[in-house]
Structure 1
C-alpha cells in the first residue's frame, strides 16, 4: 500500500465518522459513502501532485538534453 493511500484512508475515516456524528451518514449506508469519500480524496491528491521531473529527465539519453 502506498503511504499516501494510508493517509487518505485515515482522512476518509475521520470524515465519515464526523458525518455519522452529525447524523448525515448512517452505519447502514457507511460503505457506499466511505468509497465515494475515499475516491474523491484520492483523485484530489493525485490531481494535485506535481509531475516527477527527475524521473522524466533520467529517461532522456545523455546528449539529447
Structure 2
C-alpha cells in the first residue's frame, strides 16, 4: 500500500467518525459514504499534484529559453 493511501485512509476514518457522531452516517450507508470520502480525498491530492507538475513543467520551459 502506498504511504499516501494509508494517510488518506486515516483521514477518511476521522471524517466518517465525525459524521457518525453527528448522526449523518449509519451502518446501512457506511460503506458508500466511506468510499465517497476516501475517493474525494484521493482525487483532491491527485489534482493538486497534477497542478504542481504542470506548474513545474512550465517553469522548466521558460528557464530553458535564453
Question: 1:29 corresponds to which residue?
Answer: 29
Moved over 6 A (4+): none
1:40-60 CA distance string (max 9 Å, x none)? 000000111122x6xxxxxxx
What number of residue pairs does the alignment pair up?
Answer: 53
1:8-56 CA distance string (max 9 Å, x none)? 00000000000000001112210000000000000000111122x6xxx
Which is helix-richer, 1 or 2?
A: 2
The answer on 1:10 being equivalent to 2:39 is no
Q: Following the alignment from structure 1 to structure 2, what is the Cα–Cα distance between the partners of residues 40 and 28? A: 20
Question: 2:47 corresponds to which residue?
Answer: 47
TM-score, structure 1 length as denominator? Answer: 0.75
Report the alpha carbon displacement of residue 6 of structure 1 after superposing the two structures with TM. 0.3
Unaligned segments of structure 2, at least 5 residues? 57-66
Unaligned segments of structure 1, at least 5 residues? 54-65
